[in-house]
Amino acid sequence: MNTRYESPNYATQAQYTQQGAQVANTPAVNQEHSVTFQANGEDVKLAPSTVRNYLVSGNGKVTDQEVVMFINLCKYQHLNPFLNEAYIVKFGSQPAQLITSKEAFMKRAEANEHFRGSKAGVIVVRNNEIIYSQGAFALPSDTIVGGWAEVKRDDREEPIHIEISFDEFNKKQATWKDMPANMIRKTALVNALREAFPDSLGSLYTEDDKSETASVVPNQAERKQAQKESAASSLISKALSKSQTKKEPAKHIEAKGAVPVTEMPEKRDPRDPEEEQIDIFKDQIERQKAAKEAE
């Protein structure tokens, strides 16, 4: 016999069954609702399954929350992930990184009415002299130490000038080893564009400037700082402990055939507990009374 619920409140009745409970607790992202938006004058349609299957790099499994965040990033920033303007990078159980390409930065900058061009290059040490080289040019004997970039806007008197350190951004991956000058130049340009157009690019990051240098190193620095503070606290505690152990009760000097004589106690530290002072003087008074009675 087939059972049919005539009540319009079917979902409420189904919640009492195991199947109904599972449906009630299923995140909305699992329902294959696609999102359509405009990017570069074209309609872009994104579904959670499309993101998981085609737009994720790395060996990690993205969560529902990360998929939703990526879709919203593309929607509100008008990025077309099918043109490689945005994608997800995730390894293992680490948080996913929502990455934007350099081309997307350039398109966004060129679409701004105040943009008046940009230039970038590398900073090298040549014959013990710092040289600002144009583009990604460097001699084999040069030592690359950084990158620089300038972005011009017609509503600002001075161009936005950025200089970054090679050691800080170098990820030591294949592209950085094979094309170090090109990579540091590109990273400098992206940082300059972000600072020049904070409204449209302030929340976007490329794979090269949102890397382990930007996310892990500060955490390591915080842990090192916490370790230093913990070590300092431990040293202070040990010093206080040694200081307290040095304050021993009054020593008694006894000699054969002589009345016991008590050494005068050390001068009391105001920080010492009050009861410790009372015990010392009480013991001294009792011994003085005993000495008088013996006479």
Domain encompassing residue 125 = 104-215
Q: Residue 118: which of 161, 156, 85 has the closest Cα?
A: 161
Model confidence at 9: pLDDT above 70: no
Q: What is the mean pLDDT of residues 248-266?
A: 46
Q: Which two tokens stand for residue 203?
A: 């929340």
Give kind and range of the element (H or E) at residue 121: strand 115-126
Whether 110 and 208 share a structural domain = yes
Model confidence at 248: pLDDT above 70: no
237 occurs within a structural domain: no
Model confidence at 277: pLDDT above 60: no
Q: Across 19-23, 27-31, 239-243, which has the greatest mean pLDDT? A: 239-243
Whether 145 and 68 share a structural domain = no
Q: Which two tokens stand for residue 291?
A: 């000495």
pLDDT at 178: 93
Contact 40, 107 (CB under 8 A): yes
72 occurs within a structural domain: yes
Whether 157 and 253 share a structural domain = no
Whether 71 and 142 share a structural domain = no
199 or 264, greater pLDDT = 199
Whether 209 and 265 share a structural domain = no
Model confidence at 133: pLDDT above 90: yes
Cα(261)–Cα(125) distance, integer angstroms: 79
229 occurs within a structural domain: no
With cut-offs at 50, 70 and 90, classify the pLDDT of residue 138: very high
Whether 164 and 181 share a structural domain = yes
With cut-offs at 50, 70 and 90, classify the pLDDT of residue 199: confident
**Chain position carrying tokens 């919640």:** 15
Under DSSP, is residue 261 helix (H, G, I), strand (E, B) or coil? strand
240 occurs within a structural domain: no
pLDDT digit string (tens) for 66-109?
999 999 999 988 899 999 899 999 999 899 888 888 888 888 88
Whether 31 and 111 share a structural domain = no
Q: How many domains does the chain have?
A: 3
Whether 60 and 158 share a structural domain = no
136 occurs within a structural domain: yes
For strands 56-57 and 86-89, give the pairing.
Answer: parallel
Reported residue count of the chain is 295
Model confidence at 212: pLDDT above 90: no
Contact 226, 185 (CB under 8 A): no
Whether 184 and 163 share a structural domain = yes
Distances (CA, A) of 141 to 84, 127, 128, 138, 280: 35, 9, 11, 8, 78
pLDDT at 32: 62
Whether 122 and 210 share a structural domain = yes
Q: What is the mean pLDDT of residues 217-235?
A: 44
pLDDT at 175: 86
31 occurs within a structural domain: yes
Lowest mean pLDDT among 188-192, 223-227, 283-287: 223-227
Over pLDDT 70: what percentage of the chain?
60
For strands 42-46 and 35-39, give the pairing.
Answer: antiparallel
69 occurs within a structural domain: yes
With cut-offs at 50, 70 and 90, classify the pLDDT of residue 244: low
Give me the chain's average pLDDT, please.
73
With cut-offs at 50, 70 and 90, classify the pLDDT of residue 5: very low
225 occurs within a structural domain: no
Looking at 215, 237, 268, the residue that finishes a domain is 215
